[in-house]
Amino acid sequence: MAYKRHIDRLPIIPADAKVQNAVCHYCIVGCGYKAYTWPINRQGGTDPSQNVFGVDLSEQQPQDTEAWYAPSMYNIVKQDGRDVQLVIKPDVNCVVNSGLGSVRGARMAENHPSTVTGTQGHRLTDPLTWRYGSYQQTSWEDAFDLVARVTARVVMDGSEDDLIVSMFDHGGSGGGYENTWGTGKLYFESMKVKNVRIHNRPAYNSEVHATRDMGVGELNNAYEDAELTDTLVAWGCNPLECQTNYFLNHWVPNLQGMTSDKKAELLPDEPQEPAKIIFIDPRRNVSVNAAEQAAGPDNVLHLPINSGTDLALANAIFTHIVEQGWHDQDFIDAHTLREAAEHPAEFPAKGASDAYPGLLTSFEDAVEANRMSLEEAAEICGVPADDIRKAAEWMAEPKEGGARRRMMIGYEKGIIWGNDNYRTNGAIVNISLATRNIGQLGGGCVRMGGHQEGYFRPSEGHVGRPAAYVDQLIIDGKGGVHHIWACNHYRTTLNATEFKRIYNHRTNMVKEAMDSVAGQGRDALVDAIVGAIAEGGLFAVNVDIIQNEMGSQAHVVLPAAQQGEMNLTSMNGERRMRLAEKYMDPPGHAMPDCLIAAGIARHMERVLSETGNSDYAANFQGYDWKNEEDAFRDGYQSAHPDVTYERLRAMGTNGFQEPPQGLDGETIIGTDRLYKDGKFSTDDGLARFMAGPWRGLVTPGKQEESESYTFLINNGRSNLNWQNWFLDQENEFVTDRWPYPFIEMNPEDMAENSIEPGDLVEIFNGNGATQAIAYPTETATRGETFMLFGSPRGTQGNIVSKGVNELVIPVYKQTWADIRKIADVPEAARHISFKSKEFRF
Ligand SMILES: Nc1nc2c(c(=O)[nH]1)N[C@H]1C(S)=C(S)[C@@H](COP(=O)(O)OP(=O)(O)OC[C@H]3O[C@@H](n4cnc5c(=O)[nH]c(N)nc54)[C@H](O)[C@@H]3O)O[C@H]1N2
Ligand SMILES: Nc1nc2c(c(=O)[nH]1)N[C@H]1C(S)=C(S)[C@@H](COP(=O)(O)OP(=O)(O)OC[C@H]3O[C@@H](n4cnc5c(=O)[nH]c(N)nc54)[C@H](O)[C@@H]3O)O[C@H]1N2
Ligand code: SF4
Ligand SMILES: [Mo]
């Protein structure tokens, strides 16, 4: 099926189209786009005066012309209640993407709801409540009233610990400074909710405690550093598919030698060559292939390590670098802690404590504790010692003439959701710190990132460290009310089989109680709900843009607006903050999340006052926001008064890099890189090294699991799919390519199990079962597979064990299971190509 083959022509954007700033809602990269809207009954013409590009469109345009757009970038949407034509196309003047789109971002327009073109018809338009045994539309007032009455009752009868919250903490799709403030103010200021989790992990914690504890914030460089560096390191990440335009617009040009002018200008005294690149990933992901194409295979080193052995590898590289004397002693002396930390008796076997599973200490201490030879690491990691040595050389061996090698490490979910997160993260930062690669041009030791960021909330200090393991609380029958914001644990949490089983049971108890008092009025309804909660039931409120599986178990469903349907600020992976403007109406009665939070707060105040709890009711004041800008002023802007919507709007898709440093006229001055002055984010400004030796697979149960099952079920993302497919599932382009999640398997493993390409297989272990279609992959290591996570038709999380590390970080990537064929290629997958995903050159 060819995508949109019915589209023959699209309207020309007229010269007077309204132009607004847009930022891609999807990944961390935050590519700049422009949104063009104009009335439904008009279009531009070919004459330069008639189109927004100002060019003669009757002539053939050059190959790299900007004067075009793809069908996926077009839609007909509502703006101020009227139908308008909408084009969202990449902005050539945005320094992030320089006009590049991606197979995700370039679908933003068609991924908005349209009653004219029929796209995204599943978007929620009205609040829903469980009524007459099914979901029925209701008013905001009615929905808020029920939420507030039940929540207030449960919290007053028990405590705030009986309210469990799952909420986004990011920017872009779900989140943003406005919305994290709205929800943060509600749960962390008006209340002190501590049984709270984030959308992607079962606790309210950091993904990267270690680097922060060491004084090195995880987004510390600028995208430009990837253009200036000598060596790029992709550690547990797949940048072509997951941080696409960061890779294509900033890494690839350096690999191709196309940034030599910039290097010569900014680093004139150093010999320059095109960058080399190292990938550390158990599988050969397609980024390796893309890098080989750009840099030539000799300049690409892939270390296909055993799953979960990154700590051994990092410690061996660190040891080798120090043994060779390639570290920077002057920098270490001046900018890092010089006295060894006090050693707890049990160190190094344990850490300082569960909250600090590695020791924050001096360079010498770390060298001593982490010492690991290349040969030992080779044995543990399953890669040749010579390749580890080569990696260390590429990372730190001085260049000709003795110039320091500039090296940038980008890491992401391969280590974050991997074995021994804390120590591994610390061990990687050790390498960058020792070689003075933080705060320097061409340096950085950074998260590649997931979503954009947009975190501005009151202190979460009351949550504690380690934070509560919220999924386990729910499974254990704790909590009475669950508020959910932009999450779908049914598709993306760990131990999902068990979680869903218990969640269905507990929420069904409340549904049955509600059904039993139909027609008896609000008081009877609230009493019935509270009665069911007392018996172990759970009352759920789901705030989302669609009716997802969590919503299908909830009792109240509240429709949110997404980016583009509201004004929203967030920052990208180099801390670049922009205002993505509202260019269309949200569907129906949907509202921005921050205003939904405000509505809940206002009704909490009313209900609490009515029930004689005026002291507590007073906590819920200060939510009289009329729009999202009011929430922004109340939150982010109160701390950074220079940062206003007006200034951000004027600064377009380039915005500024956080933190703001003041104003130059109306321009906000930003910060290109952190730690340029060598002052780190610790009380004394000195960075810490991490002493944390290798200690095997530490997550409870994982070692046994690896010994009990045949296949590693490595898992993660594909270029095409965004997250849990919440929009993709209604997008023909995506469902056509991936009607089911794929599982990449070695062809010999497939043959041994009588599995043909495209066959539906079941993947099962003691935690549960899931399914996928088999995708033969020559480069897959025998016994190792890679499954697309988060699909509606096969949740990888079903087979992930409940084991977490000391800081309650899930270990999705380390899963072992058996595989059996269920059925021949399903009809929906019959047309799929199973060619290699690699580009052959
Ligand atoms: N196309 C697309 N892009 C996205 C997203 C998306 O859904 N789709 N989601 C965004 C989000 S929220 C996130 S968090 C990021 C994630 O971005 P990434 O972390 O880059 O993506 P993943 O596919 O989750 O995992 C990356 C790699 O980790 C490897 N890996 C698995 N186990 C190990 C291990 O033990 N050690 C090492 N070194 N590597 C291992 C996997 O083989 C995989 O290639 O992507 C963001 N960008
Ligand atoms: N097995 C396995 N599991 C994983 C991972 C993995 O690598 N492997 N990765 C983890 C990671 S890093 C992530 S980020 C998660 C991703 O998975 P999820 O946490 O499930 O996140 P999303 O897919 O981003 O979307 C969650 C919900 O937000 C809704 N939504 C979108 N925009 C808005 C909005 O503006 N407002 C509101 N209220 N709702 C909105 C969507 O409809 C969707 O239902 O999965 C995690 N789970
Ligand atoms: S790379 Fe990320 S931010 Fe850029 S267009 Fe693609 S999904 Fe959007
Ligand atoms: Mo993520």
Q: What is the pLDDT of residues 479-499, one digit of tens each?
A: 999 999 999 999 999 999 999
Shortest CA distance to 742 belongs to which of 761, 767, 765?
761
Same domain, residue pair 353 and 502: no
Residue 174 CA to its chain's centroid (Å) = 11
Sign of CA dihedral 428, 431, 434, 437: negative
Q: Could you tell me how many helices (H) and strands (E) the chain has, helices first?
A: 28, 29
The DSSP 8-state label assigned to residue 421 in this structure reads H
Domain boundary (405, 423, 449) is at 449
CA atoms within 13 A on the CB side of 474: 33
Same domain, residue pair 544 and 397: no
Same domain, residue pair 733 and 821: yes
Same domain, residue pair 246 and 364: yes
Q: What is the DSSP string of 525-583?
A: HHHHHHHHHHTT--EEEEEESB--TTGGG-SEEEEBP-TTSS-EEEE-TT-EEEEEPP-
| Cβ atoms 282, 714 nearer than 8 A | yes
Which residue is closest in CA terms to ligand 1's atom 47? 242
Q: What's the Cα-to-Cα distance from 728 to each of 118, 644, 722, rounded to whole Å?
A: 14, 34, 7
Q: What is the DSSP string of 651-690?
A: TTTT-EESSP--EETTEEP--SSS-TTS--SSTTS-B-EE
Q: Which of 28, 243, 245, 281 to mutate to test ligand 1, by most ligand atoms within 8 A of the CB atom?
A: 281
The CATH number given to whatever domain includes residue 620 is: 3.40.50.740
Percentage of the chain exceeding pLDDT 70: 98
pLDDT at 127 over 70: yes
Task: State the pLDDT confidence band at 326, using cuts at 50, 70 and 90.
Answer: very high
Per-residue model confidence (pLDDT) at position 1? 38
| 771: CB partners within 8 A, 6+ apart | 740, 741, 760, 761, 762, 763, 793, 794, 822
Q: How many CB atoms lie within 10 A of CB 833?
A: 9
Question: Does the residue 693 lie in any domain?
Answer: no
Task: State the pLDDT confidence band at 529, using cuts at 50, 70 and 90.
Answer: very high
Q: How far is the CA of 725 from the centre of ligand 2 (A)?
A: 9
Question: Does the residue 671 lie in any domain?
Answer: no
Q: What is the pLDDT of residues 672-707, one digit of tens each?
A: 999 999 999 999 999 999 999 999 999 999 999 999
Same domain, residue pair 314 and 421: yes
Q: How far is the CA of 492 from the centre of ligand 2 (A)?
A: 7
Encode burial over 766-805: b for 16+ CB neighbours within 10 A, e otherwise.
ebbbbbbbbbbbebbbeebbbbbbbbbbbbbbbbbbbbbb
The DSSP 8-state label assigned to residue 176 in this structure reads -
Please give the radius of gyration of the chain, using alpha carbons only, rounded to the nearest integer. 27
The CATH number given to whatever domain includes residue 394 is: 3.40.228.10
Same domain, residue pair 474 and 432: no
Per-residue model confidence (pLDDT) at position 352? 64
* Minimum-distance ligand 1 atom for the alpha carbon of 239: 20
d(CA 146, CA 152): 10
Q: What is the pLDDT of residues 724-743, one digit of tens each?
A: 999 999 998 899 999 999 99
Same domain, residue pair 136 and 102: no
* Minimum-distance ligand 3 atom for the alpha carbon of 244: 1
Q: Which of 723, 728, 731 to mutate to test ligand 2, by most ligand atoms within 8 A of the CB atom?
A: 723
Question: Does the residue 362 lie in any domain?
Answer: yes
Of the ranges 177-181, 212-216, 353-357, which one carries the lowest mean pLDDT score? 353-357
* Minimum-distance ligand 3 atom for the alpha carbon of 246: 1
Shortest CA distance to 187 belongs to which of 600, 603, 615?
600
Q: How far is the CA of 102 from the centre of ligand 3 (A)?
A: 6
Q: Which of 28, 88, 97 to mutate to test ligand 3, by most ligand atoms within 8 A of the CB atom?
A: 97
Containing structural domain, residue 383: 209-449
Sign of CA dihedral 453, 459, 465, 469: negative
Of the ranges 172-181, 299-308, 336-345, which one carries the lowest mean pLDDT score? 336-345
Q: What is the DSSP string of 680-734?
A: -SSTTS-B-EEE----S--STTHHHHHHH-SEEEEEE--SS--TT-TTGGG-HHH
Q: CA dihedral defined by 388, 393, 395, 398, rounded to 10 degrees? A: 170
Which residue is closest in CA terms to ligand 1's atom 36? 414
Percentage of the chain exceeding pLDDT 90: 95
| Sheet strands side by side (includes 196-198) | 134-137, 128-131, 556-559, 539-544, 481-485, 163-167, 196-198
Q: What is the pLDDT of residues 159-191, one digit of tens each?
A: 999 999 999 999 877 789 999 999 999 999 999
Shortest CA distance to 545 belongs to which of 579, 580, 591?
591
Same domain, residue pair 531 and 611: yes
Q: What is the pLDDT of residues 6-21, one digit of tens each?
A: 788 899 999 999 999 9
Any idea which ligand is nearest the CA of 448? 1
Question: Does the residue 199 lie in any domain?
Answer: no
pLDDT at 79 over 70: yes
pLDDT at 395 over 80: yes
Which residue is closest in CA terms to ligand 3's atom 4? 31
Any idea which ligand is nearest the CA of 449? 1
Distance between the two ends of the chain, CA-based, in angstroms? 27
Q: What's the Cα-to-Cα distance from 674 to each of 52, 219, 429, 445, 671, rounded to whole Å?
A: 39, 8, 15, 11, 7
Per-residue model confidence (pLDDT) at position 355? 87
Any idea which ligand is nearest the CA of 578? 3
Q: How far is the CA of 204 from the centre of ligand 4 (A)?
A: 14
Q: How far is the CA of 340 from the centre of ligand 2 (A)?
A: 41
Where in 187-332 does DSSP place strands (E)?
196-198, 231-235, 276-280, 300-303
d(CA 186, CA 190): 5
Which residue is closest in CA terms to ligand 1's atom 26? 237
Q: Which of 242, 419, 425 to mutate to test ligand 1, by most ligand atoms within 8 A of the CB atom?
A: 242
| Cβ atoms 292, 300 nearer than 8 A | yes
Same domain, residue pair 163 and 253: no
Arithmetic mean of pLDDT over the chain: 96
The CATH number given to whatever domain includes residue 776 is: 2.40.40.20
Lookup: tokens for 4 = 């949109």
Q: How far is the CA of 116 from the centre of ligand 1 (A)?
A: 36
Instruction: Give residue ranges with CB within 6 A of ligand 1.
Output: 27, 104, 235-238, 241-242, 280-283, 285, 307-308, 310, 412-415, 418, 448, 450-451, 714, 716-717, 719, 721-723, 786, 813
Per-residue model confidence (pLDDT) at position 2? 41
Task: State the pLDDT confidence band at 347, using cuts at 50, 70 and 90.
Answer: low
Per-residue model confidence (pLDDT) at position 174? 79
Same domain, residue pair 246 and 319: yes
Question: Does the residue 518 lie in any domain?
Answer: yes
30 in contact with ligand 3, CB cutoff 6 A: yes
Any idea which ligand is nearest the CA of 554? 2
Q: Which uninterrupted H or E stretch holds 35?
A: strand 32-39
Instruction: Give residue ranges with CB within 6 A of ligand 2.
Output: 173-174, 199-200, 413, 417, 450, 485-488, 491-492, 543-546, 548, 560, 562, 593, 715-716, 723-724, 726, 789-790, 796-797, 800, 812
By CB neighbour count within 10 A (0-12 exposed, 13-18 middle, 19+ buried), where does 346 fall?
exposed
Any idea which ligand is nearest the CA of 780? 1
* Minimum-distance ligand 2 atom for the alpha carbon of 800: 1
pLDDT at 475 over 80: yes
Q: What is the pTM of this model?
A: 0.97
Q: CA dihedral defined by 479, 481, 486, 491, rounded to 10 degrees? A: 50
Per-residue model confidence (pLDDT) at position 40? 96
The CATH number given to whatever domain includes residue 61 is: 2.60.40.4210
| 707: CB partners within 8 A, 6+ apart | none
Same domain, residue pair 440 and 482: no
Domain boundary (449, 480, 498) is at 449
Count of domains forming the chain: 4
d(CA 301, CA 314): 15
Domain boundary (70, 86, 111) is at 111
Question: Does the residue 695 lie in any domain?
Answer: no
Which residue is closest in CA terms to ligand 2's atom 25? 487
Question: Does the residue 436 lie in any domain?
Answer: yes
Q: How far is the CA of 450 from the centre of ligand 4 (A)?
A: 4
Q: What is the pLDDT of residues 532-587, one digit of tens each?
A: 999 999 999 999 999 999 999 999 999 999 999 999 999 999 999 999 999 999 99
Question: Does the residue 651 lie in any domain?
Answer: no
Same domain, residue pair 77 and 172: no
Q: How far is the CA of 578 from the centre of ligand 4 (A)?
A: 20
